[in-house]
Structures are given as structure tokens and as C-alpha cells.
Structure 1
């Protein structure tokens, strides 16, 4: 079953479901470990964004070089 069908079939978690999920996460990892996990997640997202910016810049630079060589 694909993701969209499962979301439509089961719906998004409501208030009580989210509370239970957060409670279970607190039980599994503990209050001291969650900030460390959040920091790691933030660093990972930042690295991913930086990598996508670098790739986009490389593609734009190559496109500019191709356009300059075609014009000459």
C-alpha cells in the first residue's frame, strides 16, 4: 500500500495520538537525550541544505559557462 493511500485510509494522528507518540519517545530516550537528538537532526538538515545549495550553484555555473561558449 502506498503512502498516500495509507494516509487517506488511516488519517493523520490527532491530539491524543501525538501525545502518546511523544510520551513513548520520552520513555525510550529520556529527557536528557532528546536535545542531543534534536541537535544532531538540525546539523543533518543544515548539511543537506548546504549540499543542495552547492550542487545548485555548480549546475548554474556550468549552465552559464555553456551559454557563454555558445554565444562566442
Structure 2
């Protein structure tokens, strides 16, 4: 582990290399770099967890009713097949818009 004397020596070398006027700018850029790195790390961990979750959870097969409703542009989330059948029937009863040439 780095002791007090080593830290003082490193700080002295940095001051000699960059000068006292550049130290605040250097510290800001290092801080923003560390912040961006942590943000990217959290994002990649989240993506990895989502990927692992998608692998472990079985994908439920869709019924024909769900497939048909999805093709018609009906949102199928949280709806039973009976509700979807009603929405499909309502969709089929709507008059089609005819565009004139």
C-alpha cells in the first residue's frame, strides 16, 4: 500500500510536471473520466443482468390468438385470449378506409 511519503513524492512530481495552475483542470478532467467510467460500468452490468435473465427465463409460446392480435397491431400485454378475441372482432368490424386515387 502507498504510504504518506510516497503520496507526497507523487504529488510533488505532478506539480513539477504540470505546474500549479494546471492542477485544477487536471483534477476536473480526471474526475469526469472516472465518472464516465463508472457510468459505463453500471450500464454494462445492467445489460449483463438483463441478458442473464433472458437466458434463464423460459419464453412462453404465443397462442394463435396472440399472434393474430399482434399482427393487427393490438397490444397483447396483460390480456387474456378472450379479451384479445373481442378486440380482434372489433377490429374486423371497423370499416376499412378507402383512399381515392
* TM-score normalised by length of structure 2: 0.49
The CA RMSD over aligned residues, in Å, is 2.1
SS at match of 1:32: coil
SS at match of 1:69: coil
Is residue 68 of structure 1 aligned with residue 60 of structure 2? no
Partner of 1:39: 28
CA offset digits 1:18-40 (Å, max 9, x no partner): 43432232122111101111111
Q: Which has the higher contact order (CA 8 A, sep 6+)?
A: 2
Partner of 1:54: 43
How far off its partner does 1:53 sit? 0.7
How far off its partner does 1:66 sit? 1.5
- Number of residue pairs the alignment of both structures matches: 60
Structure 2: which 5+ residue stretches go unaligned? 61-101
Structure 1: which 5+ residue stretches go unaligned? 1-10
